[in-house]
Amino acid sequence: MADKAGSGPDRAEAGLNPRQTEGAPSSFRQRLAARQFAITAEIGPPRGAATAPIADKAATLRGWVDAVNITDNQGATVRLSSLGGSIAALQAGIEPIMQVTCRDRNRIALQSELLSASALGVPNILIMTGDHPRNGDHPDATAVFDLDSTRLLSVATAMRDEGTLMSGAQLNPPPSWLLGAVENPPGRAASAAEAEAAAEKATGRLAGKINAGAQFVQTQFVFDVGAFAAWMQRVRDQGLHERCAILAGVGPVRSERALAHLATIPGVVIPDHVTERLAGLSPDRLRAEGEKLCSEIIAQLADVPGVAGVHVMAIGAESAIPGIIEQAGLSGR
């Protein structure tokens, strides 16, 4: 990749410490520390007892991205676990970012799984609250939510930096990971006052997660680069980009149905010009135009001060990601 200087944190600013750097080697961590524009992608584990689909997707993405998110039963649907998927990714030669949601496990199971991840060499953890089970394939499942994402970030930070569990029990040895979180940039608002309130709320949430220990954050899909850049100005004004690497979420629109669904997701702003650009196209033309649009957005985001990289979400269409990155002018990693 032709390295593009980003505005990500250096070692001190990211909160990297000796304990945390003793774990598995991480090119993703090193890239952020060097302020180089980072690219991550996403792999959804299969609905089945096999790791071959992960190895196949890893082979497609290897050399194009710095790390891949391994989702944790995304959409509250049963899949191979994120821990199992992360180990499969490591074996396939690609660095995983293991997603951990608070939906399905209490604090005992969550801390146990975090310890297991570190012991097995998983270098990065992304902590999320998680979708409610009513939205998935087991709507009658009991939702746990013993902790939320910000609380679990604090717990994971203490496990790593202080070597203690929530109970106060000591860990020997303590785990080591780079810790991440997610955030929804502010969406559209009916008035300037509502827009200001939404932007302040989103920035406050981000600050709370950084204070809890987040060293990188991946955002929801960005289609309105201007609106996102305006929010990033607020983030920079508070110096949050110096304490945490901000990776903007992007992804190709591959169908009209997908575009309609994206428009319903909190934090996703789809400008009229995007809808107009993709309207009325044949399925093949729409996929090609959606990929081109995604590459253009990546190139624009690379020039937004404070943006440390992008997170490309194209689950089920991972084979399109190398072409998107190449179109964005970021090939040759």
pLDDT at position 4: 45
- Distance of alpha carbon 181 from its chain centroid, rounded? 7
The per-residue pLDDT for range 61-84, each reduced to its tens digit, is 999 999 999 999 999 999 999 999
What is the rounded average pLDDT for all residues in the chain? Answer: 91
pLDDT exceeds cutoff 50 at 6: no
**163, 155 contact by CB (below 8 A):** no
Which H or E element spans position 237? helix 225-237
Domains in the chain with CATH codes: 20-327 (3.20.20.220)
Percent of the chain with pLDDT over 90: 81
pLDDT exceeds cutoff 80 at 19: no
Three-state DSSP at 249 gives strand
Q: How confident is the model at residue 223 (pLDDT cuts 50, 70, 90)?
A: very high
**66, 92 contact by CB (below 8 A):** no
Dihedral (CA of 69, 72, 77, 79) sign: positive
pLDDT exceeds cutoff 60 at 7: no
pLDDT at position 207: 97
Lowest-pLDDT range of 79-83, 103-107, 237-241, 269-273: 269-273
- Distance of alpha carbon 74 from its chain centroid, rounded? 13
More confident residue, 15 or 243: 243
pLDDT exceeds cutoff 90 at 26: no
Average pLDDT over residues 148-163: 98
pLDDT at position 189: 72
Query: What pairs with residue 127 in β-bridges?
Result: 100
Q: How confident is the model at residue 3 (pLDDT cuts 50, 70, 90)?
A: very low
Q: How far apart are CA 322 and CA 16, in angstroms?
A: 30
pLDDT exceeds cutoff 90 at 188: no
**234, 192 contact by CB (below 8 A):** no
pLDDT at position 2: 39
DSSP string, 39-93: EEEEEPPPSSS-SHHHHHHHHHHBTTBSEEEE-SSGGG---S-HHHHHHHHHHTT
Residues 6+ apart with CB under 8 A from 261: none
The per-residue pLDDT for range 244-301, each reduced to its tens digit, is 999 999 999 999 999 999 988 877 889 999 999 999 999 999 999 999 999 999 999 9
More confident residue, 191 or 126: 126
What does the block give as tokens for 153? Answer: 């970030």
Q: How confident is the model at residue 24 (pLDDT cuts 50, 70, 90)?
A: low
pLDDT exceeds cutoff 60 at 20: no
Query: What pairs with residue 250 in β-bridges?
Result: 312
Average pLDDT over residues 140-146: 95
Q: How confident is the model at residue 44 (pLDDT cuts 50, 70, 90)?
A: very high
pLDDT at position 9: 36
Percent of the chain with pLDDT over 70: 92
DSSP string, 145-187: -SS-HHHHHHHHHHHHHT-B-TTS-B-SSPP--EEEEEE----
- Distance of alpha carbon 52 from its chain centroid, rounded? 23
Scan for tokens 């943006």, then name that residue: 307
pTM listed for this prediction:
0.91
Which H or E element spans position 236? helix 225-237
pLDDT at position 325: 97
pLDDT at position 8: 36
